[in-house]
Structure 1
Amino acid sequence: MPALSLRRPLRRRALLGGLAALPALGGVLGGTLHAAAPERIVALGGAVTETVHALGRSGELVGIDRTSLFPPDLVRGLPQVGYVRTLAAEGVLSLNPTLILASADAGPPATLEQLERSGVRLVRLPEAVDAEGAARLIRAVGAALDRGVEGEALATALERDLAILSAAQAGHPPGPRVLFVLGIGSGPPMVGGRHTGAEGIIRLAGGRNAIDGFEGYKPLSPEAALVAAPDLILTTEQSLTQLGGPAGLLARPELAGTPAGRAGRVAAFDALYLLGFGPRTGQAARDLAKALTERNG
C-alpha cells in the first residue's frame, strides 16, 4: 500500500507539470503560425512581380503596377495601382498590404516616403540594368520573402546561363552596332544611351551600343543617328506597333539613312522580356544574340 500511495502523487505531479507546460507550448505554436501567415504583397515593377512568381509566392500578391505583365494568367486577375514611376500612396495602401516590394524605378520619392511612414513594411530593391543587377534583384526579393535559398538558386542559374553565353562569344570579333529605339509620343524617337537596360541587354547579347555620348534615354536627331551608324535597330514590339511596323520605323528621317535603315535590319522583342532584367534575362539575351547573328550575317 505505501508503494501505491507514492506512485499516485508522482503521476499527478507529472500530469500537472505537463498541463503547466501547455501555455508555453501554445505560445511557441502561436508564434510559428503567426510567422508563417501569408503576406499581402504589392509588387511595384515587372521584374519584381516575375521574381515573386518564380519564388513561389505569387499566391500572396494582392496588387501590382502597370508594368507587371508576366505571367499573363497571374497578372490578369490582380488589381493595378498605377504606373510604377507615378504611383499614389493611397492606391497602394487601399489594398491593405503587409509588404511592398518596390523596384528602383518606383516613385515618385514622395510616394515611397509616405508608404514608409504608413508603417507598412516597404523594401526598396536594387537597380537592375545589367547581369549583376538582375542577380542582385533576385537575391533581394528572395531575402524579403524569406526565400533566401530559393533566391540564391534562381540567381545562380541566371548567372550560369549568362556565363555560358559569354563563353560562347569569347574570341569572336566585336558584335554589330545596335541602336535601341523606344517610340514615345509624336516627336523624335527616344534611344538608349549608357547605363540603361537597353545597353545592358545589348552587351549581354554580344552587341555594342551605338549610342555612347550620353546616359539614359534621349530623343534622337538625324545627325546623331548618322554618327551612331547602327548595323541593327532594336526596339520593343510595343514601340514597333506604335511607330507603324518595320516600314514605318525605317521611314523615320532619323533612321532611314543609317546602315541599318538602308539594309532594313530591325529586331523587336516584348518590352518586359527584353528590358526587365528578371528571371528571364538569360533567355532574352540568348534570343537577342541569335537575332544579332541572323540580321548581321
Structure 2
Amino acid sequence: MSLSLRSFAFAAVALPLALTAVPSFSQASEKGNPEASRIVAIGGTVTEVLYALGAGDRVIARDSTSSYPVEVLAKPDVGYMRALSSEGILSQKPDLILSEDGAGPADVIGIFKASEVPMVIIDTPPRADAISRKIEDIGAAVGLSEKAKALADDVEAGLAALKSDVAAVSTKKRVLFVLSTAGGRIMAAGKDTEAGAIIELAGGVNAAADVTGYKPLSDEAVISAAPDVVLTMQRGDHAATADEIFALPAFQSTPAASSRALISMDGLYLIGFGPRTPAAGRELASQLYPEVVKP
C-alpha cells in the first residue's frame, strides 16, 4: 500500500515517504495456500478483507496497521509493515504470509520469499477501481474466490451508487488532506495517494494536486491551495483539532479557516481502500455536501 499512514496511524495508510519500497507482485502470479490455517496478515486492508471473507479465524498474527475489525487486536502484533522482522514472523509458524505491497525492509522480504512458507504480495494501487481486484486476489490466495467475487461485486455496487449521487454536486469543494503538522510543518497529500483518491471519490477537489505523493507544503503553498475544507485522520500522531489546525499561520487566511471546516475520520477506514471504501467515501461526501449526499 503506498504509504500506510503507526501504532495505528495507518501509519500512513499508505505513506510512501520514507521507507525502502519493495517491488510488488500480484497474487495472480502466486499460488498462495488455499488451505492455509495459520496466516500472518500484513497490511490493514489485507487483514480487513480476510475478516470480511470469513477467514478471520485463520489469521494467527497481524502487523500494527491492522486495526479492524477490533477483534484482530487480540492477535499477536509482528510490527509495522515497513519494518518487519523475519524471526518474529517465522516464529509464528505460518503456512501463508499474505501482505500488501510496500512491506519491508527488502532483505526481510527476500528471506520470506526464499523460505518454504508461501508468500503472496497483493498489489494495492491507490484507486477505487482497483479494490475489486485486490479483494479477488486475496480471496484466490486463501481459497475463497467465490466469496471474494461476491464481496467485490458489493463494493462495485456501492461505488457506483456513490458516483451517481456525487454527480449531482454542482460546485465542488477544495479539500486539503493534512497528514501531520509536527513542528508546524504541514505534510499534505498530493496526487497518486489514497487521500487524494478518496477526496475525488467523494466529489471533492484535491487542493494539493500540484504535488505528487505525501509532501511538506510551505505556508505559501497552503495559502495558494485555498482549501475550503481540511481533512485529517483521527488517531495517533496524525490527529489534530480545529483549534490546532487553524491556529497555524498557513491556514489562517484560507476559506477553511473562516468556517473552521475540519473533517476527521479513522485512517484505515478513510484511506484503506478496502471493503468499507464505499461507506467511507459516502460519509466524507455527506459531510462535504450534506444537502446533496446522504449518509
Aligned to 1:118: 115
Alignment map for 1:34-53 (pairs within 5 Å): 38-53=36-51
- Is residue 2:51 matched to residue 1:88? no
Secondary structure of the equivalent of 1:56?
coil
The residue type equivalent to 1:117 in the other structure is A
Aligned to 1:24: none
Alignment map for 1:259-278 (pairs within 5 Å): 259-278=255-274
Q: String of CA shifts for 1:74-129, please: whole Å, max 9, x gaps.
A: 22210011111111211111111110111023122222111111121110101142
Change (3 A) 1:58 1:88: same
Give the distance between the partners of 1:240 and 1:260, measured in 2 at CA: 22
Is the contact between residue 198 and residue 275 of structure 1 (CA under 8 Å) also seen in structure 2?
A: yes
Give the distance between the partners of 1:239 and 1:166, measured in 2 at CA: 31
Give the distance between the partners of 1:96 and 1:240, measured in 2 at CA: 33
Give the distance between the partners of 2:209 and 2:124, measured in 1 at CA: 20
Question: Number of paired residues?
Answer: 261
Is the contact between residue 205 and residue 285 of structure 1 (CA under 8 Å) also seen in structure 2?
A: yes
Q: String of CA shifts for 1:162-196, please: whole Å, max 9, x gaps.
A: 10111122253242010000116435121000010
Secondary structure of the equivalent of 2:67?
coil
Aligned to 1:202: 199
Give the distance between the partners of 2:34 and 2:129, measured in 1 at CA: 31
Change (3 A) 1:66 1:184: farther
Q: String of CA shifts for 1:249-279, please: whole Å, max 9, x gaps.
A: 1111222221112221000000111011111
TM-score, normalization by structure 1: 0.83
Alignment map for 1:185-264 (pairs within 5 Å): 185-238=182-235, 242-243=239-240, 245-264=241-260
- Flag as ranges the 4+ runs of structure 1 deviating above 6 A: none
Aligned-pair RMSD on alpha carbons?
A: 2.1
* Larger deviation, residues 205-214 vs 255-264: 255-264
Post-superposition shift, 1:230?
A: 0.6
Give the distance between the partners of 2:221 and 2:184, measured in 1 at CA: 15
TM-score, normalization by structure 2: 0.83
Is the contact between residue 34 and residue 144 of structure 2 (CA under 8 Å) also seen in structure 1?
A: no
2:62 alignment partner, one of 54, 64, 85: 64
Unaligned runs of 5+ in 1: 1-34
Give the distance between the partners of 1:220 and 1:138, measured in 2 at CA: 34
Give the distance between the partners of 1:241 and 1:212, measured in 2 at CA: 20
Aligned to 1:109: 106
Unaligned runs of 5+ in 2: 1-32
Q: Identity over the aligned pairs, expressed in percent? A: 40
Is the contact between residue 234 and residue 267 of structure 2 (CA under 8 Å) also seen in structure 1?
A: yes
Is the contact between residue 63 and residue 79 of structure 1 (CA under 8 Å) also seen in structure 2?
A: yes
Is the contact between residue 158 and residue 279 of structure 1 (CA under 8 Å) also seen in structure 2?
A: yes
- Greater share of helix: 1
Give the distance between the partners of 2:181 and 2:83, measured in 1 at CA: 17
